[in-house]
Amino acid sequence: MGASMDPFVVIKKVPFVTGLLEDEGLIVDGKPTYKILDTEMFKYVADTLLIESGVVSVLHCRAVDAIMEGNTIKGIITESKSGRQAILAKRVIDCTGDADIANFAGAPFRQDSKEKLMEVTSNFSVSGVDLIPFVTDSIRNTGTMKDWGYRTSGKEDDMASSVLVEPFKKAQRDGMMPKDWHVAAYWAGLTEHGEILSMNTVHMHSIDPTNVWDLTRAEMEGRRRAILIMEALKKYGSGFKNARIRNFHHSLGTKESRKIIGTYNITEHDCINQARFKDTIGICPEFIDAYHVLYIPTTGRYFQVPYGITMPQKVENLLVAGRCVAGDKISHGATRQINCCIVTGQGTGVAAAVSVKDNVTCRNVNLSKVQSKLEGQGVRIA
């Protein structure tokens, strides 16, 4: 992974932020300790980074259309409490996750029916967990990745899995929740205060993240399911007798919707065979998690991320970053991951800046210059 893919490398360049993280014990001698990140404090850290870098932020605002001149994007239309406004731009980067801007601009994309899309998740956190029985039971009942029944490279099969399943099987047996729910608690972020910061337990299928009615239904249904799951944990889970929901999700976890058709569409074969590209803008570890395929990045194997997956067809001066970049179903299990989203985000940002400076379109940008700029920022591209 390139240095740019590690947020601490960027953060430690800001003295104020570095001191803050050192106080939190997240950085020691200039290196990350990988302790649990205080997410609330990180919001403040992120604000500070944006302000100090000179970014003009506009919150509480949605893009609702694209401003086009022929097949060239010239800006976007927004809606907010301030009404309908226009933001003009020399280049536009779509980081909506759902390819909203690309859709408004008329760029080709694919989107499966909602029955074929990945599930949405409704995470919650828990407080009041009795740590000793919880941890003891978790150790005794630790399963392996093989138990999930996923297709793997083989090396993942015997890796430990902290997933909780038995409490929900008992709850379903006793009629506390529907038997057709696939319920498994992938927990993370256990603190000394008896908190579990993430319970990835509610998984809902047949939800279209671009449909407001589906999103509304999933938002409310997710909280209902979380309540039932918490009741099952209190009754059948070790250490949960006095536990309670600390907070519901801040937003639904949406994994898949629109995917642009790019000048290149990355494939499953690329991701698991260490593909190399002349237009690389960074590297991504061999990490796939989608459609019952699981590759965990432990070997150092990686594929290069091509610029072409960020460039939609038929629209000029629009780039796309994040999970809606171009690719097939299984490669999406890699490109939707945060580390790959960081690569495409930084890569498109640099490409857009170079194209403006050289007065050429994003499609005709000098890739050697883009790669040189990225390497100067600490990005490993090869």
Look at residue 315 and give its three-state secondary structure.
Answer: coil
Which one is predicted more confidently, 28 or 216?
A: 216
pLDDT of 138: 86
- Contacts of 82 by beta carbon, 8 Å cutoff, 6+ apart: 61
Mean pLDDT of 325-348: 97
How confident is the model at residue 214, as a pLDDT? 98
CA 182 to chain CA centroid, Å, is 22
For 312-333, how does the pLDDT look when each residue is reduced to its tens digit (9 = 90+)? 999 999 999 999 999 999 999 9
Look up residue 161 and give its two tokens.
Answer: 């899995």
Considering only CA atoms, which of 207, 228, 226, 210 is closest in space to residue 218?
207
Q: Are 231 and 176 in contact (CB under 8 A)?
A: yes
pLDDT at res. 146:
82
Single pTM value for the model? 0.89
123-173 confidence digits (pLDDT tens): 999 999 999 999 998 888 888 888 888 899 999 999 988 788 899 999 999
Nearest CA-CA partner of 321 in 334, 307, 331: 307
Mean pLDDT of 257-276: 98
How large is the average pLDDT for residues 355-374?
98
What is the spatial distance between Cα 49 and Cα 17, in angstroms, rounded to a whole number? 8
Type of residue at 141 = N
Q: Tally Cβ neighbours within 10 Å of residue 118.
A: 23
Mean pLDDT of 83-104: 98
**Residue pLDDT, tens place only, 285-301:** 999 999 999 999 999 99
Q: Please, are residues 275 and 230 in contact by the beta-carbon 8 Å criterion?
A: no
Q: Are strands 124-127 and 244-248 parallel, antiparallel or unpaired?
A: antiparallel
Measure the CA–CA gap between 72 and 93, rounded to whole angstroms.
Answer: 13
pLDDT of 229 higher than 60:
yes
Give the CB-side neighbour count of residue 186, counting CA atoms within 13 A. 12
Backbone φ and ψ for 22, nearest 5 degrees, come out as -65, -40
* 284 DSSP β-pair partners: 303
Which tokens hold the place of 190?
């256990």
Question: What does pLDDT average to over the chain?
Answer: 91
Per-residue pLDDT at 11: 41
